[in-house]
């Protein structure tokens, strides 16, 4: 058997652990030990130069050999002062006197051994129970230098050091990835620590570790990438969940701020994604700058951010923080040409653990509060209150169903007439969107538009409205038998879309309608963001003959000062002015005078009584719209012979068509 072993390429020897000498070796082992003969090798005193740490390790192995354990490690030997690295398998070997020796099988070509630990050098060191350095093998000295005096100098994380001590104290085996201070800087090792009881004197801590830095560094890069948003460098949704999971497990109370930008879609659509990205990066910087220390900031989605505040801030401090955040986002941003862009932010708040102990639900609560803040007029913050998330549920229900509404033929249009009181004739119709869903019933146009804007469906829906309204205008022209126009409401978000202009002109061409047959109704706040740009879609459309109406005039904040800059032909005064017409008479007269001086026509909406109609006519408001003149009705109503007969009689008689009042079908 010995002869057979001699012929093996693997170096094999038997080491007497107690006497520090080799008692047998094969030819390959002689080569590894750089020894001319077995006799010479047996005579070598291997105790000299052997560190305490290695001595202890071997003694520890000896104990484990009684249980038939086998160890595989990458060891460094120094035969005649020259280092040799070999992959070794250590197992027990009973000597003739029954003492336990160690059989070593070593191969220097370790390449075919896979596995990180097998290709990493075993670094061995020993420390006293209080952490004082005792000794280390040569690889240890190479990595940690000659100056090591205490274990605490090596372990970067104090918590990890404590953990090692605790394991040792309880005579347990410690094993973990540990970041250590080496002569080359911080390095990751797989570290094993055991309580060694085999030396005379005090027990020691025996460490074995293997360099795993490369793997850890790769893992760290991947983790960073997986947890951060590449645009802003903030945590992403995944990173936030990881961070919150830790807080929830630790029971650390926090307040979660869900921050959503108001009007960001408009920026992206109107100025392009590159400007959008610049703005988002700047938003992240401002939020970062205004957050208090010890908070976590995350880009949660497109234009949504989450800030987690840990300090149990006094109420007024939290209020200050919120106001500051909103204020900072309200300061102008600039695009690449340094044109100002204005935005604002709406914030919802939820608290852990008060509002929920579930992370997803907490975020939903803050989101629901944010949604509420938007509904109440944006640029504000709202704290979560019970059941707020029901609003969100409705939003999600509506958006799902709305996405199918066109193909399921659930949308329709009602038309409300606009009368010229001078001729008592219908001069225009306003197309008003209706949606009936079998499960949800009738949904108000305000809610439809809100959902459509939130979900991005607004383009499809309003394109559908434009197509249907212009198509049906052809029929109205036949019924009414005179020049008539169609007014269509367009959302600011849709207005910013690049393709809208060409779509509208393609429809006009398709139905062979002149551009002046179409009136686009826009609210004043939308108009104000667009009037500065010479080539804005609005300017392009009006230059090419499409008419523009300023809708709901007087409800926004812009009003008179900017009116002359808007290329509108009609100003639709909001029905809010009709509430106390008498009190508002002076205001209405002023508006009328101003509008006329700007070569525009004024129209008053929401006229419900004959009294209102007459009073307004006397103030010069000849264009009128309201239930008194006719409720919004579907096309069929106007096509019916009862309407056509009534209308032709009324027009002939030149009396107010108030008898046309009908109840709008639901």
Residue 263 vs 606, nearer CB to ligand C2E: 606
Residue 449 vs 470, nearer CB to ligand C2E: 449
303 near 245, Cβ under 8 Å? no
| Secondary structure letter of residue 292 according to DSSP | P
Residue 373 vs 449, nearer CB to ligand C2E: 449
| Secondary structure letter of residue 517 according to DSSP | G
- Residue 465 beta carbon to ligand C2E: minimum distance, rounded to whole angstroms: 4
Q: Which residues of 165-182 are buried (b: 16+ CB within 10 A; e: fewer)?
A: bebbeeeeebeeebbbbb
Instruction: Choose, by CB under 5 A, the member of 229, 303, 355, 551 that binds Mg ion.
Output: 551
Residue 521 vs 530, nearer CB to Mg ion: 521
Instruction: Choose, by CB under 6 A, the member of 432, 451, 470, 546 that binds ligand C2E.
Output: 432
DSSP SS3 for 269: helix
Q: Should residue 552 be labelled a site residue for Mg ion when binding is judged by CB under 5 A? A: yes
Q: Should residue 416 be labelled a site residue for ligand C2E when binding is judged by CB under 6 A? A: yes
The H or E element containing residue 463 is helix 458-480
Return d(Cα 77, Cα 86) in angstroms, integer. 8
| Phi, psi torsion values for 176, nearest 5 degrees | -170, 165
Q: Which residues pair with 13 in a beta bridge?
A: 25, 104
Look-up of token digits 């009181």: 421
Instruction: Choose, by CB under 6 A, the member of 282, 410, 420, 608 that binds ligand C2E.
Output: 608
**Which of these segments, 304-312, 341-349, 442-450, 511-519, binds ligand C2E (CB under 6 A)?**
442-450
Closest CA to 557 of 597, 599, 587, 528: 528
Q: How far is CA 180 from CA 90, 129, 400, 523, in A?
A: 27, 19, 53, 64
Return d(Cα 353, Cα 358) in angstroms, integer. 9
Q: Should residue 203 be labelled a site residue for ligand C2E when binding is judged by CB under 6 A? A: no
Angle, helix 641-653 to helix 458-480, in steps of 10 degrees: 60
626 binds, among ligand C2E, Mg ion, none (CB under 5 to 8 A by kind): ligand C2E
x/- mask, ligand C2E, residues 616-655, rule CB under 6 A, reads ----------xx----x-----------------------
Q: Should residue 524 be labelled a site residue for Mg ion when binding is judged by CB under 5 A? A: no
| Secondary structure letter of residue 137 according to DSSP | -
**Which of these segments, 33-41, 252-260, 280-288, 487-495, binds Mg ion (CB under 5 A)?**
487-495
Q: Which residues pair with 90 in a beta bridge?
A: 71, 104
The H or E element containing residue 528 is helix 524-530
- Residue 464 beta carbon to Mg ion: minimum distance, rounded to whole angstroms: 17
549 near 569, Cβ under 8 Å? yes
DSSP SS3 for 615: helix
Q: Should residue 512 be labelled a site residue for ligand C2E when binding is judged by CB under 6 A? A: no
**Which of these segments, 12-20, 44-52, 313-321, 489-497, binds Mg ion (CB under 5 A)?**
489-497
Residue 177 vs 608, nearer CB to ligand C2E: 608
- Residue 461 beta carbon to ligand C2E: minimum distance, rounded to whole angstroms: 7
Q: Should residue 521 be labelled a site residue for Mg ion when binding is judged by CB under 5 A? A: yes
The H or E element containing residue 186 is strand 185-196
# of chain residues touching Mg ion (CB under 5 A):
4
Q: Should residue 462 be labelled a site residue for ligand C2E when binding is judged by CB under 6 A? A: yes
378: left (phi over 0), alpha (psi -120 to 50) or beta: left
- Residue 447 beta carbon to Mg ion: minimum distance, rounded to whole angstroms: 16
# of chain residues touching ligand C2E (CB under 6 A):
22
- Residue 387 beta carbon to Mg ion: minimum distance, rounded to whole angstroms: 32
590 near 620, Cβ under 8 Å? no
x/- mask, ligand C2E, residues 304-333, rule CB under 6 A, reads ------------------------------
446 binds, among ligand C2E, Mg ion, none (CB under 5 to 8 A by kind): ligand C2E
| Phi, psi torsion values for 319, nearest 5 degrees | -60, -45
Residue 285 vs 399, nearer CB to ligand C2E: 399
Q: Should residue 606 be labelled a site residue for ligand C2E when binding is judged by CB under 6 A? A: yes
- Residue 655 beta carbon to ligand C2E: minimum distance, rounded to whole angstroms: 19
**Which of these segments, 261-269, 380-388, 509-517, 599-607, binds ligand C2E (CB under 6 A)?**
599-607
User: In sequence order, what E strands does 511-567 have?
Assistant: 518-523, 547-553
10 near 18, Cβ under 8 Å? no
Q: Should residue 602 be labelled a site residue for ligand C2E when binding is judged by CB under 6 A? A: no
| Helix/strand/coil percentages in the chain, nearest 5 | 45, 25, 30
Q: Should residue 489 be labelled a site residue for ligand C2E when binding is judged by CB under 6 A? A: yes
Q: Should residue 489 be labelled a site residue for Mg ion when binding is judged by CB under 5 A? A: yes
Query: Given the rule CB under 6 A, which residues bind ligand C2E?
Result: 416, 432-433, 444-446, 449, 462, 465, 489-491, 521, 551-552, 605-608, 626-627, 632
């Amino acid at each position: 058997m010995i002869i057979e072993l001699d012929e093996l390429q693997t170096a094999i020897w038997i080491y007497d652990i107690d006497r520090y000498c080799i008692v047998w070796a094969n030819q390959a082992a002689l080569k590894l030990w750089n020894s001319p003969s077995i006799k010479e090798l047996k005579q070598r005193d291997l105790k000299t130069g052997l560190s305490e740490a290695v001595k202890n390790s071997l003694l520890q192995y000896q104990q484990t050999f009684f249980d038939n354990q086998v160890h595989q490690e990458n060891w460094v030997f120094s035969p005649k002062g020259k280092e040799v690295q070999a992959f070794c398998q250590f197992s027990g070997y009973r000597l003739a006197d029954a003492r336990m020796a160690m059989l070593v099988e070593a191969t220097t070509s370790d390449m075919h051994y896979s596995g990180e630990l097998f290709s990493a050098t075993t670094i061995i060191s020993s420390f006293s129970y209080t952490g004082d350095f005792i000794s280390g093998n040569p690889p240890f000295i190479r990595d940690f230098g000659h100056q090591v005096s205490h274990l605490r100098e090596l372990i970067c994380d104090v918590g990890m050091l404590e953990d090692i001590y605790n394991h040792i104290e309880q005579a347990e085996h410690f094993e973990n990835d540990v970041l250590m201070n080496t002569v080359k800087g911080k390095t990751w090792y797989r570290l094993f620590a055991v309580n060694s009881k085999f030396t005379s004197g005090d027990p020691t801590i025996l460490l074995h570790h293997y360099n795993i830095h490369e793997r850890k560094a790769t893992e760290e890069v991947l983790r960073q990438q997986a947890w951060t948003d590449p645009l802003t460098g903030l945590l992403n949704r995944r990173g936030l969940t990881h961070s919150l999971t830790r807080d929830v497990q630790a029971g650390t109370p926090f307040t979660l701020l869900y921050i959503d930008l108001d009007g960001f879609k408009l920026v992206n659509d109107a100025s392009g994604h590159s400007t959008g990205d610049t703005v988002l990066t700047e938003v992240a910087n401002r939020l970062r700058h205004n957050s208090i220390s010890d908070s976590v900031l995350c880009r949660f989605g497109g234009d949504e951010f989450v800030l987690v505040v840990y300090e149990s801030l006094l109420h007024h401090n939290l209020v200050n923080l919120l106001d500051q955040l909103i204020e900072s986002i309200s300061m102008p941003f600039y695009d690449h040409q340094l044109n100002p862009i204005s935005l604002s932010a709406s914030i919802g708040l939820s608290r852990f653990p008060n509002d929920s102990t579930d992370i997803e639900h907490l975020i939903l609560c803050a989101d629901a509060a944010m949604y509420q803040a938007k509904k109440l007029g944006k640029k504000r913050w709202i704290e979560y209150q019970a059941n707020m998330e029901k609003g969100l549920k409705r939003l999600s229900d509506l958006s799902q169903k709305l996405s199918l509404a066109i193909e399921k033929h659930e949308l329709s249009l009602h038309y409300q007439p606009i009368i010229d009181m001078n001729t008592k004739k219908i001069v225009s119709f306003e197309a008003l969107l209706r949606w009936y869903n079998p499960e949800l019933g009738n949904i108000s146009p305000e809610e439809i538009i809100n959902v459509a804007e939130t979900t991005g469906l607004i383009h499809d829906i309003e394109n559908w409205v434009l197509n249907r309204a212009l198509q049906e205008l052809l029929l109205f022209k036949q019924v009414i038998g005179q020049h008539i126009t169609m007014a269509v409401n367009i959302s600011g978000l849709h207005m910013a879309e690049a393709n809208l202009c060409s779509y509208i002109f393609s429809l006009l061409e398709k139905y062979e309608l002149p551009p002046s047959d179409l009136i686009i109704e826009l609210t004043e706040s939308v108009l104000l963001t667009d009037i500065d740009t010479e080539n804005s879609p609005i300017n392009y459309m009006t230059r090419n003959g499409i008419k523009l109406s300023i809708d709901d005039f007087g409800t926004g904040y812009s009003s008179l000062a900017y009116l002359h800059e808007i290329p509108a032909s009609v100003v639709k005064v909001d029905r809010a002015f009709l509430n106390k017409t008498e009190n508002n008479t002076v205001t209405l007269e002023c508006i009328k005078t101003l509008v006329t001086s700007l070569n525009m026509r004024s129209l008053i909406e929401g006229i419900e009584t004959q009294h209102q109609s007459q009073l307004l006519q006397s103030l010069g408001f000849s264009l009128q719209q309201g239930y008194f003149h006719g409720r919004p009705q579907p096309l069929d109503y106007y096509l019916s012979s009862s309407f056509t007969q009534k209308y032709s009689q009324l027009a002939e008689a030149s009396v107010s068509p108030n008898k046309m009042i009908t109840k709008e079908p639901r």
